[in-house]
Amino acid sequence: MKGVGPKRAQEFQRKGIQSLEDALYYFPLRYEDRTRICGPKDLYKVEEGTSISVLATIQSVREIPLKGKKSRLIELVAIGDDGGLLSCTWFQSYKGLKEKLEIGKKFIFQGKLKKFRGAPQIIHPEFELQTASTSKKQKKSIHWGRVVPIYSRSEILSQKFIRETLFHCLEIAVPQLNDLLPDQVREKHQLISIQDAFKEIHFPSNYFAIDQISSNNLPPAYRRFIFEEFFKFQLILKMDRTKIKKLPAQSFSGKNELFELIKAQLPFELTQGQKQAIEEIRKDVAEPIAMNRIVQGDVGSGKTLVAILSACNILDQNAQVALMAPTEILAEQHYRLVQSLFENSSIRVALLTGSLPKKEKEKIQLGIREGHYHFVVGTHALIQASVQWNNLGLVIIDEQHRFGVNQRTQFLAQPGSNLSPHMVTMTATPIPRSLALTVFGELQVSTITELPAGRSPIKTKVIAGSERNKLYNLIKKEVSTGRQAYLVYPLVSESESEGFEHLKSVEKEFVRLKNGPLAELNIAFVHGKLPNEERLKIMNEFKEGKVHVLLSTTVIEVGVDVPNATVMGIENAERFGLSQLHQLRGRIGRGKHQGYCVLVTDSKPPSTSQANFDLEEGVEEESPWVRLQKLEISTSGFEISEFDLKLRGPGDFFGTKQSGSPTFRLADLVRDIDLLENARNAADLILQDDPNLSNAEHTNLKKWSSKVLEAASKNLKSG
């Protein structure tokens, strides 16, 4: 494309634009109505901050050196045909700018109106020379005299340059487009053609505000693309699912003795959600078809207990149960819980992790193979080739999003048996209801919405790095009342920090805090690289209250249960995902005391994220504070997962983000639920009549689906 050299090409690539197709799908952030061209006098009646297009002739231009800086400021005064004056200012000049601003020539100036001592002014305007009559020029310009797209941009790619480049991409690509949607689908659902849709979404005929779109007023181009996104997504899923066979499994029904024994030991009553989830699992495992159920619930809602109680039915009938956790710390904690629950029964429990000595590992593997161990808790070590099960009936996977889809499926094929184990996966990163309906059609979902009695909502606050002492003072105050605290960091040591020198590390911060702000407290640190025995020793000392403050990486993200801990401080919080931060926050407030989560970030707050002047609309300056503040206002994992879904799209929820698989750029899974249903029905009808897409009218669909089906189906099926 004209004007795209190596530097700009690299910047486009960073934004995901390498091909004409990428460019077409680089949709605007919003639009500006530039259909009206004003004279300077009109602007006295216009509200400051309004986007304006002004026609005026340059009267004077002056360049002013800025003290102590290499850059220069440019000031311009232009006069309109109505005799009114307009001033324009560039705080950062660039090579050739002054030469373009020819005195005596008529220009269109575009930008946000500011008023300096009541007089109209534009800072860093877009501008275009008028070389023909206004009416004739207006038809040709892509920057004014029309509804104009505003894109996400960067310092290297100006708004004007992106707009011009994408306009030319449209000119080249649109005539070559083949419509994936068959004519009968478009006619039935009143959808415009793909050619019209791309033209309208980039350069609409009429102005509309994207943030005010609702299900009742979707612009035609939006409606078309949203329907297509859902349709493509559903088509791939349905074509994939036709290949999935229901796997045979053992049927477990009837016995409740062990369940009643374990339940009677509990010092509390199960919540209604826990009871319902147990009943749903009990019904599933009674069938001779492998269960595939996900138990979702917020941090601390008691999912692990549900899974263990559900395992009783399988153990009662002499089959084995495996519980796989993502970290050794969590596996060890689960092992202790399972062991304590079954200590008055005949159930033999084992722990299998990668760090066990070879002889001990081989002994446990032999016990698994011979059926000596009934309930085995472990990490990835459970899916090694050397582990062979005697009679595996149930697999429980904790924090399922932490495992790759291929790792989860290794349990399904048991050598020497044509039966698959039943499977329960647990997650505290809830799947939004809309996504569950759309994607996980064949996956049963149990949802635990209540928290155990006596839990107080955790108070969360985002603070700047310069305010760290507030966090340390809070820790000291809580410790003085007998409580404990966590401090979480993104790095283990300085050796990891190459290219990330601004990030905090556990080991370096331990030394600093020990000799400084927290010198009077007993502090310790753990991370995944510590020897197993040392890590366990420190964790036990923390649980016993001997350690006041535990510094850690995200090794403590899931499952660590110390009810006395009330403060969670997270450094470089902008480096973590929202769901991960919510998980970390869930480590506190597990007792009767109020919990406090402090998110520390060195990123600039929204108010200071740009320079002292508004350079240009669409500058990519999204402050992490905006995202982090969602955690201040919500303690619900379900709300956070909905917000995460909007930020990330659905790809991450499959456990793998497959390149080339369909993603949602415009569709909102909540707002557009009706279009989702329509698209799902349309995909159903097509596949009922033409399952292999062999008909002539499905040629384009066949070509497209063959490109993505193999990779996408592999991941979606196993996930």
> DSSP per residue over 570-635, as a string?
ETTGGGS-HHHHHHHHTTS--SSSPPEEEEEE-SPPGGGSS-SS---TTB----HHHHHHHHHH--
Residue ranges of E strands in 339-412: 349-352, 375-378, 392-397
pTM as predicted: 0.57
Residue ranges of E strands in 99-257: 106-116, 119-123, 126-129, 147-150
Q: What ranges do the domains of the chain cover?
A: 6-161, 183-243+657-718, 257-448, 459-634
Q: What was the pLDDT predicted at 613?
A: 35
Q: What was the pLDDT predicted at 243?
A: 55
Q: What was the pLDDT predicted at 60?
A: 94
In the block, which residue shows the tokens 């009429």? 206
Angle, alpha carbons 31-35-36 (nearest 5°)? 125
- Measured in degrees and rounded to the nearest 5, phi and psi for residue 46 equal -95, 140
Integer Cα distance of 54 and 80 in angstroms: 8
Q: What was the pLDDT predicted at 454?
A: 62
Contact 304, 337 (CB under 8 A): yes
Supply 88's token pair: 């324009």
CATH code of 6-161, in short, is 2.40.50.140
Contact 4, 46 (CB under 8 A): no
Contact 120, 86 (CB under 8 A): yes
- Encode 311-322: b = buried (16+ Cβ within 10 Å), e = exposed: bbbbbbbebbbb
For helices 578-585 and 624-633, the axis angle rounded to 10 degrees is: 40
- Provide DSSP, 445-469: EEEE-PPPTTPPPPEEEEEEGGGHH
Q: What was the pLDDT predicted at 453?
A: 63
Angle, alpha carbons 259-262-264 (nearest 5°)? 105
Contact 207, 33 (CB under 8 A): yes
Please check whether the two domains, 257-448 and 459-634, share a CATH topology: yes
CATH H-level superfamily of 257-448: P-loop containing nucleotide triphosphate hydrolases (3.40.50.300)
Q: For the chain, how long is the longest CA-to-CA vector?
A: 97
Helices (H), 378-439: 405-409, 433-439
| CATH number among 3.90.950.20, 3.40.50.1110, 3.40.50.300, 3.40.50.150, domain 459-634 | 3.40.50.300
Closest to 329 measured CA to CA, from 558, 562, 587: 558
Integer Cα distance of 528 and 555 in angstroms: 6
Contacts of 69 (CB under 8 A, 6+ apart): none
Supply 575's token pair: 């480096």
**β-pair partners for 148:** 32
User: Which regions of the chain are under pLDDT 70?
Assistant: 68-69, 132-140, 240-245, 399-416, 429-443, 451-455, 492-503, 555-560, 606-623, 638, 641-642, 644-663, 670, 709-719
Q: What was the pLDDT predicted at 530?
A: 80
Contact 447, 432 (CB under 8 A): no
In the block, which residue shows the tokens 């070559």? 176
Supply 487's token pair: 């401090």
Integer Cα distance of 408 and 397 in angstroms: 8
3-state helix, strand, coil in the chain (%, to 5): 40, 20, 40
